[in-house]
Chains A and B, each alone.
Chain A
Amino acid sequence: MSTPKRTITIREAINEALREEMRRDPKIFIMGEDIGVAGGVFKVTAGLLDEFGPERVFDTPIAEAGIVGLAIGAAMTGMRPIVEIMFSDFTTLASDQIVNQAAKLRYMSGGQCKVPMVIRTAMGARRRAAAQHSQSLHAWFAHIPGLKVVLPATPEDAKGLLKGAIRDDNPVLFMEPKMMYSQKGPIPEGDYTIPLGVGRVHRTGKDATVICTSSMLYPSLEAADRLAAENIQVEVIDPRTISPLDDELLIQSARKTGHVLVVDEGYQSFGVTAEIAARIMQGAFNYLDHPVRRLGAADVPVPFSPSLEDLTIPSADRIYSTIKDMLT
């Protein structure tokens, strides 16, 4: 692309997506805890209240089920709400609304209604916030038919995917990597959207494939750099959305390299890594030189002490050594 690109943070990219979409469509409004006057605990919605006023950007009580419930009713009656649930851990408080209402209303009604809404929330550990503010619960929602689950990892993807999510006619969980809000990256000019269900190849390679989600992109790229210095070419792919999942892209890469590692920040057991591994074994079994390997968050409540917390999350070192192990 010859268009010169700006460099902005993920935080700014999301803010831009919200602004541009709200300017485009008057049916969009934003509500959530501290998102208006305070601009959000992570400052993602800063300035939106000033531009769009209190009828379109408003603070709510701390009432996650109620917030999501109101958004569902508004979405069913023609609006396109965006709600912020401060930490993905707090989606548990709204889980009936998300799982039993938002996800099912279209199907249960025989297609009579739609629920076009986006639930933005922040996921990921290493904020030293302990077990109730550090989880990555995206796999739960990907388990539920009727929901879409988006995991942006770069500014460009965050902006394009959020626009795609806002224009989607389904309930979408948009789960932002909280430790990467200040991550910078190039971003295209003008209006663009990224369709949900299309993965992205961040670097190509012939020796092994790393499939990584959300913030796990960065240690994966770091490990791939180190392996490249040893003449091991690692393909790094971010599916970007886990529901829908770009099976074809992942399977094609697995068939090419024969060695696949899946890295995800959710709990390893019954998580995203397991689902992706199963799909690759179904789609590429005869091409694999090694069983698919997985790295997820340790199956423990996220501990507070930094020295312990870091042990629970996949790191560049572990990604590096796992690939080396597979190739040896």
Chain B
Amino acid sequence: MTAKASIPELKTLDVHRLSDEIYLEMYRRMVLIRKFEEAVYDLYSRGIMSGLAHLYTGMEAIAVGVCMALDASDNITSTHRGHGHLLAKGGDPRRMFAELLGKESGYNRGKGGSMHIVDMSLGILGANGIVAGGLGIATGAGLSAKINREGRVSVAFFGDGALNEGLFYEVSNMASLWKLPVVYVLENNQYGEYTSYKRSTAGTGLARAEAMGIPTRKVDGNDVLDVYQAACWGVNLARSGEGPSFIECQTYRWRGHHMGDQGDTYGYRTQEEIEYWRKLCPINRHREYILQKKVASTGTLEKIENEVQSQIDQAIEFAKDASYPDPSEVFQDVYA
């Protein structure tokens, strides 16, 4: 799969011999994302949340598999479908919900909303409302890390739609030329908005990255361990000065493109297709793995689920109780 045969592999990493804590933490984070998104669905459906919301449901293994391979000081950029990445990198659900409701205690003081959440202290350089918008930022953060010899890695999450934006080629070319520590994570969920990958993308994503001389891997994006292994490979390349890598994760979004895309409104995919992918649920799959491997009992997993549910419930209460920003806030922070 790799374009360069000489790239060092992580010989010692066996994803079937990780510690129990890691398996359970993966499970916890995926459940957190799932429950968070279902709560967003509910808040939106009941008219409590306004604006736009693009749910990550069904894609949890990618954000978690990648972010579990990162250090706290590593940077990520995210997309319009960003809640999962933020939670996987350690984002606080209370401040996220508060942001989604436009409250002052939200991450962005209510000025960004769902598509723009930032937490500089966690290396979350932002979700982004422009397709491919985060790719320049992630690559630039990689440039910083390289100049300062910091050993930090940047991860750019992006969807298959971004593959057809010019920015990807401009920045990945420079990342490859200058060996910047960037991992490009393509989340191929089969649709850019309402148009399928097949109808919009000539050739393959992998070939496009390989054309830049960037080593690639293609993984099952619904298998958190497969994603984790590839992410460790990419992060290791970046940290050891070998430059960028590109990981394509095959996945599917269960919900529509956004909350306005419900049921058959736009008629671009079949119920059979959705059902097929729902059966490939990344959380069920990891749950089965944990049980089969006897990492933990059903009871332990249920305990995690309950803990996460109560975390989500408390976070929503926090957000509902929070105040809206003061009107004077509208003119704050236009300039530094």
Tell me if B174 counts as interface (CB < 8 A to partner A): yes
Q: Find out whether the CB atom of A145 lies under 8 angstroms from the CB atom of B173.
A: no
A108 in contact with B125 given A61-B173, A77-B75, A77-B140 (CB within 8 Å)? no
* Contacts across chains A and B counted by CB atoms under 8 Å: 148
Q: Find out whether the CB atom of A170 lies under 8 angstroms from the CB atom of B109.
A: no
Q: Find out whether the CB atom of B136 lies under 8 angstroms from the CB atom of A97.
A: yes
Please, how many angstroms separate the alpha-carbon atoms of A72 and B167 in the complex?
Answer: 13
A74 in contact with B144 given A61-B170, A111-B332 (CB within 8 Å)? yes
Please, how many angstroms separate the alpha-carbon atoms of A158 and B166 in the complex?
Answer: 34
Residues of A within 8 A of B211 (CB): none
Contact with A along B110-123 (1 / 0, CB 8 A): 11100010111000
The residue in B129, B145, B333 that gathers the most chain A C-beta atoms within 10 A of its C-beta is: B333
Number of A interface residues in the complex (CB < 8 A)? 43
Tell me if A166 counts as interface (CB < 8 A to partner B): no
Q: Find out whether the CB atom of A145 lies under 8 angstroms from the CB atom of B334.
A: yes
A110 in contact with B167 given A72-B140, A146-B335 (CB within 8 Å)? no
Q: Find out whether the CB atom of A77 lies under 8 angstroms from the CB atom of B141.
A: yes
Please, how many angstroms separate the alpha-carbon atoms of A5 and B140 in the complex?
Answer: 40
Q: Which of B135-176 contact A (CB under 8 A)?
A: 135-145, 147-148, 154, 166-167, 170-171, 173-174
Tell me if B130 counts as interface (CB < 8 A to partner A): yes
A72 in contact with B130 given A63-B174, A106-B335 (CB within 8 Å)? no
Please, how many angstroms separate the alpha-carbon atoms of A71 and B110 in the complex?
Answer: 26
Q: Find out whether the CB atom of B335 lies under 8 angstroms from the CB atom of A73.
A: no
Q: Find out whether the CB atom of A116 lies under 8 angstroms from the CB atom of B336.
A: yes
The residue in B130, B139, B147 that gathers the most chain A C-beta atoms within 10 A of its C-beta is: B147
Tell me if B207 counts as interface (CB < 8 A to partner A): no
Among B77, B118, B137, B334, contact of A112 (Cβ-Cβ < 8 Å)? B118
Tell me if B251 counts as interface (CB < 8 A to partner A): no
Tell me if A101 counts as interface (CB < 8 A to partner B): yes
Tell me if A301 counts as interface (CB < 8 A to partner B): no
Please, how many angstroms separate the alpha-carbon atoms of A73 and B166 in the complex?
Answer: 17
Residues of A within 8 A of B177 (CB): 61
Residues of B within 8 A of A29 (CB): 147
Please, how many angstroms separate the alpha-carbon atoms of A169 and B333 in the complex?
Answer: 12
Q: Find out whether the CB atom of B125 lies under 8 angstroms from the CB atom of A66.
A: no
Q: Find out whether the CB atom of A112 lies under 8 angstroms from the CB atom of B119.
A: yes
Tell me if B107 counts as interface (CB < 8 A to partner A): yes
Q: How far is the CB of B246 from chain A (nearest CB, A)?
A: 16
Residues of A within 8 A of B145 (CB): 77
Residues of A within 8 A of B109 (CB): 110-111
Q: How far is the CB of B227 from chain A (nearest CB, A)?
A: 24
Q: Find out whether the CB atom of A66 lies under 8 angstroms from the CB atom of B336.
A: no
Please, how many angstroms separate the alpha-carbon atoms of A308 and B248 in the complex?
Answer: 54
Tell me if A257 counts as interface (CB < 8 A to partner B): no
Q: Find out whether the CB atom of A100 lies under 8 angstroms from the CB atom of B334.
A: no
Residues of B within 8 A of A69 (CB): 135-137, 139-140, 167, 170-171
Q: How far is the CB of B323 from chain A (nearest CB, A)?
A: 14
Closest to B129 in A: A100
Closest to A60 in B: B174
A66 in contact with B136 given A61-B170, A108-B116, A109-B108 (CB within 8 Å)? yes
Tell me if A75 counts as interface (CB < 8 A to partner B): yes
Binding site for A on B (CB under 8 A): 75, 77, 106-112, 116, 118-120, 125-126, 128-130, 133, 135-145, 147-148, 154, 166-167, 170-171, 173-174, 177, 332-336
Binding site for B on A (CB under 8 A): 29, 55-56, 60-61, 63, 65-79, 81, 96-97, 100-101, 105-116, 145-146, 148, 169-170
The 6 closest A-B pairs by CB, nearest first: A69-B136, A73-B140, A66-B170, A110-B109, A169-B336, A111-B333
Other contacts beyond A60-B174, A97-B136, A113-B120: 17, CB < 8 A = A55-B147, A66-B136, A66-B171, A72-B137, A73-B144, A76-B120, A77-B75, A101-B133, A101-B137, A105-B118, A107-B333, A110-B112, A112-B107, A112-B108, A115-B336, A116-B336, A170-B336
